[in-house]
Structure 1
């Protein structure tokens, strides 16, 4: 998504593939976080589920009205989640 946003004129044709990949990634992430076997606190699972719903809605918004600027929020969320997961490994 970062590449698509940064070079919108040349990479816009990759938008659908980038959004589909992100949606698949979030589907797997949400399944593992919110599943019955998850040991995360209930409040955290609920917050992540709500964030996932936002990501899915934002994805549909971008698909309906494509814009490079609209990708920024998804990119930032993904980066923050990744940073949090990396910090949790330490």
Structure 2
């Protein structure tokens, strides 16, 4: 189940961006920005948790959509994106469990790269 803040962010992006891909790109950029802010030395555990939770919920929405057999995206590409989603879930859990052992850099990079691809295809 997803959090209302992720759904609300999706709805907000829907009203500001044109195509579904542009909306998805906007959400990924927003999640990347939240994660980027957590790299500050004065970030609290609560701020890190909020950014990680937002990112995880966005990816939960995406993976849920990608799992649909009637999704317009080619199956191999969908599977690759689902695999990235699984990676983000596992990496997020690693960070939440031990914040000193892992960084948010890979999550930021994934979000930015996928957003760039969505905008290029949009």
How high is the TM-score relative to the length of structure 2? 0.66
Q: 2:106 aligns with which of 73, 76, 84?
A: 73
Instruction: Note if contact 1:26-1:52 (Cα within 8 Å) is conserved in structure 2.
Output: yes
Q: 2:57 aligns with which of 3, 24, 28?
A: 24
Distance 2:101 2:48 in 1: 9
Compared with structure 1, are the counterparts of its residues 86 and 20 closer, same or farther at alpha carbon in structure 2 (3 Å cutoff)? same
- Work out the number of aligned pairs and report it: 87
Task: Find the counterpart in structure 1 of residue 37 from structure 2.
Answer: 3
Task: Find the counterpart in structure 2 of residue 55 from structure 1.
Answer: 88
Instruction: Note if contact 1:4-1:68 (Cα within 8 Å) is conserved in structure 2.
Output: no
Higher helix share: 1
* Superposition deviation, residue 11 in structure 1: 1.6
CA RMSD of aligned residues (A): 1.5
Task: Find the counterpart in structure 1 of residue 70 from structure 2.
Answer: 37
Q: Which ranges of structure 1 fall in alignment gaps of 5 or more residues?
A: none
* Superposition deviation, residue 33 in structure 1: 2.0
How high is the TM-score relative to the length of structure 1? 0.88
Instruction: Note if contact 2:94-2:102 (Cα within 8 Å) is conserved in structure 1.
Output: no
